[in-house]
Amino acid sequence: MLKVLFVASEAAPFAKSGGLGDVAGSLPKALRRLGIDVRLMLPKYAALPASCRCQLNHQVSFTVNVGWRRQYCGLETLDYGGLPVYLLDNEYYFKRPSLYGYYDEAERFAFFCRAVLTSVPYLGFAPDIIHLNDWHTGMVAPMLTQYRHDTMLKNTRTIFTVHNLTYQGIFPKEILADLLNLGWEHFTIDGVEYYDKVNFMKGGLCYADYLTTVSPTYAEEVQYPFFGEGLYGVIRRRRDKFVGIINGIDYDEYNPATDKSLAVNYTDATPELKRENKVRLQQMLGLPVRGDVPLVAIVSRLVAAKGFDLLGAVLDELMAMDIQLVVLGTGDTQYEHLFSQAAWRYPGKAAAHIGFDDILARQIYAAADLLLMPSLVEPCGISQLIAMRYGCLPLVRETGGLKDTVQPYNEYTGEGWGFSFTNYNAHDMLYTIRRALNFYQNKQVWTKLVRAAMQRDYSWDASARRYTELYLQVCAGGQL
């Protein structure tokens, strides 16, 4: 049986700050259903839920070398629905209020990368593949070159998945020896050197046996300067070992037929029941109860990459339409203010909840007619997949995973299940919104689109099969 150690800095439900947590919490379970002996490894954070903490079993303690430091590491395990989970414990590094954002990020994740490899002899599990995810795990790949004498790691291959190239883990070059225990032979243009600094992301990109990212379109985009974040040359050089595999969502977790967060459950056979969820949400948010008004939703991190500058440019024109706007999210102050002020300026037409609430998010997906995602950059995107599952039609800009997952409606052929625009232009977006609202008035067409969206299969099953094929190819030394 193929053995895979899946390593990430976060994974739901143990710790989550974004899409990486969703992927790392769901993909290993889907791989295990396909017969892969996959095991998950991540840090043991203070945020670990009490329901998980009470299940932990301490296996062993050992020492991890972080430069000249000799740091404690505890290996703790639990069973998560049949998935073995390893948590690496060091309270100095990980018992903190937040997952990220500290002055010593380089040291924290240098420790984690070294601890991953140091822990393997204690697992009783010799991985054929270590699957690494984003910059926090990138240095495992170059560090592995120092472990080829170890019988449990001498034949191990690595796959490195880029979830978002924007965040790279760039630190002063002095950490090479002081934290990473790597020689200067690695500090080259083909190694971890990046403008006279050390780049964790580049370590994964240059040293892993194979590279993936989270959608086919993003895999193409990052090979060009605008999306490539200074690393497009590295990726282009390795493009023969680089593939985009679309993310999925957990269809058991996100199921409008069984979701207890909803006022009324429904399926693609009963999409008319969405109306009851709309009424309940309108009541909850203090909006006029109108079943006929299109409810437009934004459920997102409120940051520039999500395209909210476009909303700011045409907000008054948008709100002049006969719509209701609901916003849920937190992020940059300017966008929080944009939507908070919109709710103040347009009482009865707009509501904004600055923060994040998973139950409210599900209620919005179930109630809304349109989900707006005008992203400037979107490696994959999760919100549009959840929205389609709940019969909320996505309106997106054609970039990254949004382009790969949302086929725009063609009224001449009847194909499609959403709406999209190409140029990063506010009035192109506004035109597309108006076009969608015109179709909303035709209930026969709209119901057909809702059903088509709900019937799309973006579960992890198809993606897990693709990863399984990749694992087998990499172990065999071949290419896809």
Q: What string of DSSP letters covers 270-334?
A: -GGGHHHHHHHHHHHHT----SSS-EEEEES-BSGGGTHHHHHHHHHHHHTSS-EEEEEE-B-HH
Give the whole-angstrom CA distance, residue 316 versus residue 146.
59
Q: Beta-carbon neighbour count of residue 477 at 10 Å?
A: 8
197 marked as binding residue: no
Tell me which DSSP letter residue 166 carries: T
Q: Which of 249, 194, 245, 218 is nearest to 29 (CA)?
A: 249
Q: What is the CA radius of gyration of the chain?
A: 23
Q: How far is CA 470 from CA 41, 243, 268, in A?
A: 20, 9, 33
HEC string of 132-175 equals: EECHHHCCHHHHHHHHCCCCCCCCCEEEEEECCCCCCCEEECCH
Pairing of strands 210-213, 69-80: unpaired
Q: Which of 136, 74, 147 is nearest to 107 (CA)?
A: 136
Helices (H), 286-332: 308-319
Residues in Cβ contact with 478 at an 8 Å cutoff, skipping those fewer than 6 apart? none
Q: Which amino acid is at 430?
A: L
Give the whole-angstrom CA distance, residue 115 versus residue 75.
9
Q: Beta-carbon neighbour count of residue 311 at 10 Å?
A: 22
SS3 content of the chain, % helix, strand, coil (to 5): 40, 20, 40
Give the whole-angstrom CA distance, residue 344 versus residue 311.
16
| Letter string b/e over residues 17-40, b meaning 16 or more CB atoms within 10 A of that residue's CB | ebbbbbbbbbbbbbbbeeebebbb
Binding positions for ADP-alpha-D-glucose: 16
Binding positions: 16
